[in-house]
Structure 1
Amino acid sequence: MKRQSFSTNKTQVLTEIELDIQPKRRVGILGGTFNPPHIGHLVIADQVCHQLGLEKIYFMPSANPPHQDEKKAIDAAHRLRMVELATEDNDYFNVEKAEIERGGKSYTYDTIVKLKEENPDTEYYFIIGGDMVEYLPKWYKIDELAQLVEFVGVNRPGYPIFSPYPIIWVDVPSMDISSTLLRKNLKMNCPVNYLIPEKTLKYIRQEGLYLDDN
């Protein structure tokens, strides 16, 4: 009587099992126009990164954010370069160019879908300010997006911490700094030392940025 044998690709099976149990990379994303980036952005990213034990924080400049009122922003190439300069001295920080490279309106859902397709081993923590939490129900495909990322809310005085969507709240030092105010100060040649990272400020001065109404 012949013995029937079955062949199994053990290497393939083991690889699939290993992929299933391999812990995912945990990285944060801080999006925005960064017009210009300032110390408040850096503090938020640093606090979230270390309090949640994330591997990296990716700063993601937007091409044209659809959830905000129309406003002027300087050329994306300038904003990207300013973010690169602001983050290059911190090993935990990096820059994500996906939205600028794609151009057009930057829908977070589309961006995250693309990033997860390219990086299936990564779990994303999407950082939003307390002022943005109340707008979440208006975001494009928010229910689907909430299944793809972990939202991280950064406390901001005067804004509620309630949301119909799950949010991980992180307390950070309260800093009343806005890019709008910094643009006004730059136009009027008022001092902004220490509010904007030194390398970024040097770039702004060299390129003559924010001298007009932008």
Structure 2
Amino acid sequence: KLSASLHPGLYRVFYIPLSTGNIMDMYKSIGWELGLPTERNRAAAFRAIRTEITRLTLETGQRPVLIIDEAHHLRNEILEDLRLLTNYRMDSENRLCLLLVGLTELRRRLAMAVHESLTQRIVVRYHLTGLTREEVSEYLTHRLRLVGCELPLFEPPAIEAIFQDTQGRVRKINTLAHYALTSGAIDKAKTITAEHVRMAREEITP
């Protein structure tokens, strides 16, 4: 939704889903998104990325938007280099918009003294709360429609069970609903019941 809401002539969005590797893994992912050749060392990769960001900003008039998912997994050295990537002309210019997306652990990480410089650059913080019961139902309906299903597959007790088990957290809803659908498919059921959700919960919980 964010990408679709940004004017393509003014912004260029780059999405990085991998957050568990080392700094060179991150640079390779960013470079790949930017269409850059793979560099052999950290310094060369850093310079190439900054140069391309500058080119996009000055020559095309597009503001690069770098979205890094699962950012709570990022190593400290990567967070520090990301801070340096946003530093242009001693902070007199803002050529790169960086969005760090992650779980609550990310807030704790950024509150550490070692990341104070990065934290000072953060302009907006947003914490996504859990969905309500009604929103869980609407969300499941929406997800089903995305794959072409208009039928109300989840029975009301199943939706209630999903809400109670996940407290409206979207990622947990996705996982639990997926396993519940699998359980229903194995039973060749026409709808997903609270029992399917219970079996899904047992499958997920170690």
Q: Same fold (TM over 0.5)?
A: no
Q: Which has the higher strand share?
A: 1
Q: Quickly name the TM-score band, shorter chain normalised.
A: 0.3 to 0.5
Higher relative contact order (CA 8 A, sep 6+): 1
Instruction: State the TM-score, normalizing by the size of structure 2.
Output: 0.34
Instruction: State the TM-score, normalizing by the size of structure 1.
Output: 0.33
